[in-house]
Structure 1
């Protein structure tokens, strides 16, 4: 029963964002491509990071940033929308377990994040040398992409459960998710920062997601990929456990 229920809810969540793909997929791709066009055009030829041309260095960071932000947005916006419109009660009437909810919401968030990430990578072909699209370690890139998307989908569940209105969700995204994403080394190498800010950056789990993903492309990174994998894995386990705990309690959805 759990498998069938999770599969049905997962399909519903896929259709929810696919029905408005122009907004949920095309718009984020366009935003990332604008970043690539502006920063890549201005700094290409002037900046080289660890022997990698700046445009090529920027591309994996923008792909990962898009994956993380859109994975978070999918699960969080779906939950808050259901709470505000009142149709969440129809899910509560079903015999779905908390694990089924988790698998469906997080699974759909991962799919949306990967769709946007692939869209950004495809669009970047026009601006970045082809050599940047031949990953040195494809397994590392896929691992960090999937783990990062799953963690952000879980975090989106937590934010959606916590928020009572769209304003609260926007505050969570604008003051927590977006700053941590932008300060994760998407546009620069953390290794080039002064000592204090470099240390602060290493407290940000988003940095390890971006850095590990970039290692998969170029084989170079600011931190060991094994360290990054450990940090991201622990972060995902903590966030996923908290999301499951809140779902089991029915936090802000049963009362």
Structure 2
């Protein structure tokens, strides 16, 4: 009898309903990917946000009256923090997927026994982590200069996490759809950046003419930034109930879309 016939037969590994090991491994890979270049992925966005803060406060802050009883620097800071969260959550998931496609590394996460839901959680979770790390670092850096202390923790938590999740999922769809970095630049420059700048990040929409203000209420970024700012200032320009509903509905729709795209393997398996 040969030695090979005496070897025990190894049964396929059973992971159960959820492959926790694979999910955790892919999530760690996504986090380590941006932490390896922390000066580029975290410190650079923080520095850019502080430059925005400096320019606006130094240039017009001293002559700008309080907005809804809130000093202009305190009004401005939450919007800038969330802007950093949004941009970096999108950048992490979109660049990760696009780089994998360009380098032909999609097999690294398609071959392991990971379901579409597990892929979704890992990619979105990694992007949310980067967005929140940038937001927290920005807030801590601003703290010595601006008195930004949460007064409604639920709003800071809900709109902060909801905003990071939303742009992380937009990044997943964008990264899968894009075939080159120019495509991602189109999404960022013509959709995300204008929506952010026209959402009331640097001003109160109550100062706008009625027609323009009405248009702002159709911008989901307005509700995220307005709700997040409410968490720090206690003042909101729009309806918080509508804001909570808008974030929940859009995130649910994006989650279904991301899951469907990952399950179908669109532009990943071909």
Q: TM-score, normalised by structure 2?
A: 0.91
Q: Please tell me whether the aligned partners of residues 72 and 156 of structure 1 are also in contact (alpha carbons under 8 angstroms).
A: yes
2:24 maps to 7
Aligned residue in 1 for 2:131 = 113
Q: 1:41-52 maps to which residues of 2 (within 5 A)? A: 41-47=58-64, 48-52=66-70
1: CA distance, partners of 2:134 / 2:212: 30
For 2:63 and 2:247, how far apart are their aligned partners in 1? 32
**What is the CA RMSD across the aligned residues, in angstroms?**
1.0
Partner-residue secondary structure (3-state), 1:167: helix
Q: Establish whether residue 232 from structure 1 lines up as the match of residue 232 from structure 2.
A: no
Map of 1:55 onto structure 2: 73
Q: Find the structure with the greater CA-based Rg.
A: 2
Give every structure 1 segment of 4 or more consecutive aligned residues whose post-TM-superposition deviation is greater than 3 Å. Answer: none
Deviations 1:6-53 (A, max 9, x none): 111000000000000110000000000000011012222322211111
Question: 1:216 matched to which residue of 2?
Answer: 231
In the alignment, structure 2 segments of 5+ residues that lack a partner are: 1-14
User: 1:45, 1:53 within 8 Å by CA — same for their partners in 2?
Assistant: no
Alignment of 1:183-194 (within 5 A): 183-194=198-209
Deviates more, 1:104-113 or 1:90-99: 90-99
CA displacement at 1:226 relative to structure 2: 1.7
For 1:204, which of 219, 238, 243 is the aligned residue? Answer: 219
Q: Which residue of 1 aligns with 2:47?
A: 30
Write the deviation string for residues 76-106 of structure 1: whole angstroms up to 9, x where unpaired.
0000011001111222111111111110011
SS of 1:143 mapped into structure 2: helix
Instruction: Name the SS for the 2:157 alignment partner.
Output: helix
Which string of whole-angstrom CA distances, capped at 9 and with x for unpartnered residues, describes residues 110-160 of structure 1?
Answer: 1100110011111112331x3xx2222111111110011011101100000
- In the alignment, is the contact (CA less than 8 A) between 1:155 and 1:240 conserved in 2? no
Number of residue pairs the alignment of both structures matches:
252
Q: What is the distance in 2 between the residues matched to 1:210 and 1:33?
A: 18
Q: Unaligned regions of 5+ residues in structure 1, if any?
A: none
Indicate yes or no: 2:83 matched with 1:83.
no
Structure holding more helix per residue: 1
SS in 2 for 1:35: helix
1:21 aligns with 2:38: yes
Cα shift readout 1:51-74 (whole Å, capped 9, x = no counterpart): 111111000000011001110110
Paired with 1:11 and 1:65, the residues of 2 have a C-alpha distance of 24
TM-score by length of 1: 0.96
Q: Which residue of 1 aligns with 2:143?
A: 125
The question of whether the paired residues in 2 share the 8 Å contact of 1:37 and 1:127 is answered with no
